[in-house]
Amino acid sequence: MTLALTAGAVRPRRNYRRRRIWGEVGALSFAVLLLIWTLTPIYNIIAVALEPHGDVFTNDIFPKNPSLESFWIVITQGYWYLEYFWRQFENSIYIGVATVFFTLAIGSLASFAIGRMRIRYGWLVSNAALLTYVIPASFLAIPFYRIMGFYGLSNNLWSVIAAEVTFATPYAIFIFQQYAVSIPIELDEAARIDGASPAQVYFRIYLPLMAPALVAVGTYALLLAWNEYLYQFLLLSSKKSMTVPVALAQFLNSDEAPWNYMMATAIVYALPPVAIYYAFRGRMTAGLTMGGVKG
Amino acid sequence: MADVQALRPSGPFSHLAVARAPVHRSKWRLGLQGSEFTWAIAFIIPYAALFLAFVAYPVLYGLWLGRDPALYFELMSEPIYQRTVVNTIIYLAIGVNLKMFGALLLSGFFMRRGWWVKGLLLIYVLPWAVPALPSFISIHWMLNGQWGLINNVIWQLFGVDGPGWLETSRALALGSVIWSHIWKWMPFWTVILLAGRMAIPQELYEAADVDGATGLKRFTYVSFPLLANLYLVCTLLSTLFTLGDFNSVFFVSGGGPALSTHVLATLGIRDAFEVARPDLGVAVVMSALPLMIPLVILLMRKLHTTEVTL
């Protein structure tokens, strides 16, 4: 009697355990597929970058004689397509930093006026921003290019900065407004009663309390400027004013594209944003999930 | 009257403000006076100037460039343009839906517990973290018919020559472009939907468990109804972003073979800068408006009426 009882109790547990093990095996094999899916193009970048110049046009899956030669060529600018590599890298950084600064400044000022000071017709401004946010940037490229000519900014880094700030600020306003809701407006009021001017409230209360949102949006703006290609390609034409992605795409036009140098350039170019992304990942995800989203 | 005006909720996020604002009145809520008004104007001017100079002016200028109806008749009779429209529709219909549905399923997978799932998520978001251009150039080379990694693998495994993915047929090239787009952007939407799933209170699942809902039922009766709105907003946004996606098409297939895989975003740039017909390029982009305007209106409404705590 007792034996039958225990046997009956054990079997479902064993079934449950077996099912769990199979579930885990299934999940693990799915994970392997997902890894292959994700890493194939990235593996390709690294593998090609490690191939010496003569080995690119072979049928190897793994580089036969891996070497760091192409990285050395990139760092020392030892190929005619790469003669201004560091200059172009500087341009990318310059554009990125300026974009972050202006996006944060303009976005936070506007969100302060709309959300905290409740300026009349503020809704008009936030709707305009929202509209800009959902319109694809590439659709505005043609008139934008012409207009930069009118402004006398063609082949000037500032034209690119203007474009990136234009497309990053709506997201900034969107996020700042949502985040600011969590900061009690009583703080502003207390400061106002103590005689602080709006500028003081903005600098002493609003900005410090907005720090997490500023970090999230700043990371977003930097990655946007670093990722963007179309406007940089259209607006920058000389080799010295180009950014790295534009130069990278120029490689494609040469007859015998030096794929290993291109991939090494791509890796050097991709490292900063990947590092920044993983450093601020938590903050950024919080920002993205807080409000709207933008690729 | 002015006070009432200032108190009235305004703007897309006003529902939040209304929910929070206590009833008592104090200085700023009574509207702005004197120097405060000047300050507020000064704070808004940088954005207003940016918007007028770099959004309003280009939009109006674009509308003016594409004002001639003859341009649209010219486009309609062009076979390349007709194919481009079909490509755009295929790209949106397949690309967006596969990506979003995959993201929905994967966000469920990443809810699993365990250290290796967390590690996998870190690797899985890599395509999103790596800048677009290096990845797309890599995919372009990877799909090369003669020397690319994919065909090398096919040769090593099966001993047959793989197809020229980008060089031979429109279907393969368009498929490759759609695949690259999904590869690049699915992680991003997975993260968003994952956050949405995490926001669902655990008690709901426990209650469903007690009621005997397991597996698929848990998803159809608990998760999905709660995620539906988020899923819809994300799909709309993603459709608009995909419509304007230039990089995946331009760098993976380059519109080839024989201009057969262009989408509106890349054909517009081609007409404006390679063919040197900016008015025609603008017309190409403008012809997306009949699709864009309803999407934008729907999305703006959704963002207004629902709390988009994604």
Q: pLDDT of A203-228, one tens digit each?
A: 999 999 998 889 889 988 998 999 89
Of A47, A74, A101, the last residue of a domain is A74
Q: Which of A43-57, A162-176, A230-244 has the lowest mean pLDDT?
A: A43-57
Q: Are residues B256 and B279 in the same domain?
A: yes
Q: Are residues B153 and B15 in the same domain?
A: no
Cα separation, B75 vs B144, whole angstroms: 32
Q: Which of A13-17, A247-251, B23-27, B110-114 has the lowest mean pLDDT?
A: B23-27
Q: Are residues A33 and A92 in the same domain?
A: no
The shortest CB-CB distance from A270 to any of B44, B50, B134 is to B134
3-state helix/strand/coil string of chain B:
CHHHHHHCCCCCCHHHHHHHCCCCCCHHHHCCCCHHHHHHHHHHHHHHHHHHHHHHHHHHHHHHHCCCHHHHHHHHCCHHHHHHHHHHHHHHHHHHHHHHHHHHHHHHHCCCCCHHHHHHHHHHCHHHHCCHHHHHHHHHHHCCCCCCHHHHHHHHHHCCCCCCCCCCCHHHHHHHHHHHHHHHHHHHHHHHHHHHHHCCCHHHHHHHHHCCCCHHHHHHHHHHHHHHHHHHHHHHHHHHHHHCCCHHHHHHHCCCCCCCCCCHHHHHHHHHHHCCCHHHHHHHHHCCHHHHHHHHHHHHHHHHHCCCCC
Are the beta carbons of B72 and B82 closer than 8 angstroms? no
Q: Are residues B148 and B182 in the same domain?
A: yes
Q: Are residues B80 and B31 in the same domain?
A: no
Smallest CA–CA separation between A10 and chain B, in Å? 22
pLDDT of residue B33: 66
Position A9 confidence tier, pLDDT thresholds 50, 70, 90: low
Q: Do B156 and A61 touch (CB under 8 A)?
A: yes
- Least CA distance to B188: which residue of chain A? A295
Cα separation, B230 vs A100, whole angstroms: 28
For residue A177, give its domain range: 77-290
Q: Which residues of B touch A139 (CB under 8 A)?
A: 244, 265, 268, 285, 288
Assess if residue A192 is contained within a domain: yes
- Whether residue B272 lies within 8 A of chain A, CB to CB, comes out as yes
Q: Are residues A126 and A238 in the same domain?
A: yes
| Higher pLDDT pick, B300 / B190 | B190
Position B279 confidence tier, pLDDT thresholds 50, 70, 90: very high
pLDDT of residue A32: 94
pLDDT over threshold 70, residue A287:
no
Position B300 confidence tier, pLDDT thresholds 50, 70, 90: confident
- If one counts the domains in chain B, the total is 2
Q: Which residue do the tokens 């946007």 mark?
A: A224
Q: Do A293 and B265 touch (CB under 8 A)?
A: no
Q: Do A113 and B195 touch (CB under 8 A)?
A: no
List pLDDT tens digits, range A32-67: 999 999 999 999 999 988 888 777 777 777 887 788
Q: Are residues A70 and A101 in the same domain?
A: no
List pLDDT tens digits, range B204-213: 888 888 888 8
Provide, rounded to the nearest whole percent, the portion of chain A with pLDDT above 90: 38
List pLDDT tens digits, range B138-174: 999 899 888 888 888 888 888 888 888 888 889 999 9
Q: Are residues A9 and A96 in the same domain?
A: no
Q: Are residues B49 and B96 in the same domain?
A: no
The H or E element containing residue A134 is: helix A122-134
Q: Is A147 helix (H, G, I), strand (E, B) or coil?
A: helix
Assess if residue B68 is contained within a domain: no
Q: Are residues A119 and A260 in the same domain?
A: yes
- Least CA distance to B266: which residue of chain A? A138
List pLDDT tens digits, range B6-38: 333 333 333 333 334 444 444 455 456 677 888
Please compute the mean of the pLDDT values over residues A245-271 and round it to a whole number: 86
Q: Are residues A177 and A135 in the same domain?
A: yes
Q: Are residues B145 and B45 in the same domain?
A: no
Q: Are residues A132 and A175 in the same domain?
A: yes
Q: Are residues A138 and A252 in the same domain?
A: yes
pLDDT over threshold 60, residue A198:
yes
Q: Which residues of B touch A114 (CB under 8 A)?
A: 11, 44
List pLDDT tens digits, range B83-120: 999 999 999 999 999 999 999 999 999 988 888 898 99
Q: Are residues B89 and B219 in the same domain?
A: yes
Q: Are residues A67 and A82 in the same domain?
A: no
pLDDT over threshold 90, residue B281:
yes
Q: Are residues B143 and B223 in the same domain?
A: yes
Of A20, A53, A74, the last residue of a domain is A74
Q: Are residues B40 and B160 in the same domain?
A: no
For residue B188, give its domain range: 74-305
Assess if residue B15 is contained within a domain: yes
Q: Are residues A258 and A136 in the same domain?
A: yes
- If one counts the domains in chain A, the total is 2
Assess if residue A295 is contained within a domain: no
Please compute the mean of the pLDDT values over residues A283-289 and round it to a whole number: 65
Cα separation, B15 vs A146, whole angstroms: 40
Q: Is A78 helix (H, G, I), strand (E, B) or coil?
A: coil
Q: Are residues B184 and B262 in the same domain?
A: yes
Cα separation, A68 vs B309, whole angstroms: 47
| Higher pLDDT pick, B225 / B176 | B176
CATH number of A241's domain: 1.10.3720.10
Assess if residue A244 is contained within a domain: yes
CATH number of B279's domain: 1.10.3720.10
The shortest CB-CB distance from B137 to any of A58, A138, A262 is to A262
Q: Which residues of B touch A34 (CB under 8 A)?
A: 106, 120, 124
Of A74, A105, A127, the last residue of a domain is A74
| Residues in CB range of B148: below 8 A, 6 or more apart | B141, B142, B165
- Whether residue B172 lies within 8 A of chain A, CB to CB, comes out as no
pLDDT of residue B8: 34
- HSE on the CB side for A104, CA within 13 Å? 24
Cα separation, A169 vs A148, whole angstroms: 19
Q: Are residues A243 and A277 in the same domain?
A: yes
User: What are the start-end ranges of the H helices in A135-195?
Assistant: 141-150, 157-180, 185-193
pLDDT of residue A5: 47
Position A4 confidence tier, pLDDT thresholds 50, 70, 90: very low
Q: Are residues A160 and A204 in the same domain?
A: yes
pLDDT over threshold 60, residue B306:
no
Entry pTM? 0.86
Q: Are residues B19 and B126 in the same domain?
A: no
Count of C-beta atoms within a 10 Å radius of residue B298: 13
Assess if residue A144 is contained within a domain: yes
ipTM: 0.86
